Structure 1
Amino acid sequence: MADYTTILDGLEVAMRLGIHPHEAAPQRVRLSVWMTVDYADPPSADAIDEVLDYDFLRDGILAMAAGPGFALQETLVEAIAALCLADPRVRQVRVRSLKPDVYPDAAVGCEIVRTR
């Protein structure tokens, strides 16, 4: 068995995320995802069909950002984790969200780890 960590780091999207009236408009959200992926063997043919193509993750997050939004960062990161774990090769996922513009002196965020 071979395991790898596939990373999508620092994807910035504009989305509705929050409970306050001023958060009804899309705001900047930075997302990072680390997926531990199990393969029967290390890739040998240097071909994408041997590994997890991370395009599904970016496309899925962009679709979420274009949707109605989320009240809580906790709900957002759970939805992203579920997207990742829908692929049976993903054994564990770590998802981090940050809202960098909430305060002038700090970003606020949420991070979870989910394991199959």
Structure 2
Amino acid sequence: MSWGRVFVEGLELSASIGVLEHEHRARQPLFVDITLEVNNGFSVEGDLSSVIDYRVPVDHAKRLVKAGHIELIETFAENLAAACLDDDRVLVATVRVWKPDAIADAKASGVEITRQR
């Protein structure tokens, strides 16, 4: 079996996310990395329908953010991984989500999850 990885790194979204009161009032930056391990490798024929289009997980992430307030970044990560696994060619989805402003003395804080079929 041949396989490969499709990834998106540093996707920046503006999200209503978090459990604190001020996080309910204002959107904040949310960064996302997505790595998908896929079967069938990659097409060399230039046929987009035969590969995983990396715009698809980006669209999933944007839809989740637009759907409304999200309490936990863990919930966002789980829902995004599940949406990515809806494509039967995706064997493993790793989602890393971080908020750059959550902890004053840290560059970022967040979660990383890996889910497989």
The separation in 2 between residues aligned to 1:72 and 1:33, in whole angstroms, is 18
Offset at residue 92 of structure 1 (A):
0.3
User: Which residue pairs with 1:37 in the alignment?
Assistant: 38
The 5 Å alignment of 1:69-88 reads 69-88=69-88
Aligned-residue sequence identity (percent) comes to: 33
Moved more, 104-113 or 88-97: 104-113
- Paired residue total: 115
User: Which residue pairs with 2:27 in the alignment?
Assistant: 26
User: Which residue pairs with 1:13 in the alignment?
Assistant: 13
Offset at residue 104 of structure 1 (A):
2.4
The separation in 2 between residues aligned to 1:43 and 1:51, in whole angstroms, is 6
Offset at residue 49 of structure 1 (A):
1.6
User: Which residue pairs with 1:99 in the alignment?
Assistant: 99
TM-score w.r.t. the length of structure 2 is: 0.92
Give the superposed CA RMSD.
1.2
Q: What stretches of structure 1 move > 3 A for 4+ residues in a row?
A: none
Runs of 5+ unmatched residues, structure 2:
none
Runs of 5+ unmatched residues, structure 1:
none
- Kindly indicate whether residue 46 of structure 2 is the aligned counterpart of residue 64 of structure 1: no
* Matching residue's letter, 2:9: D
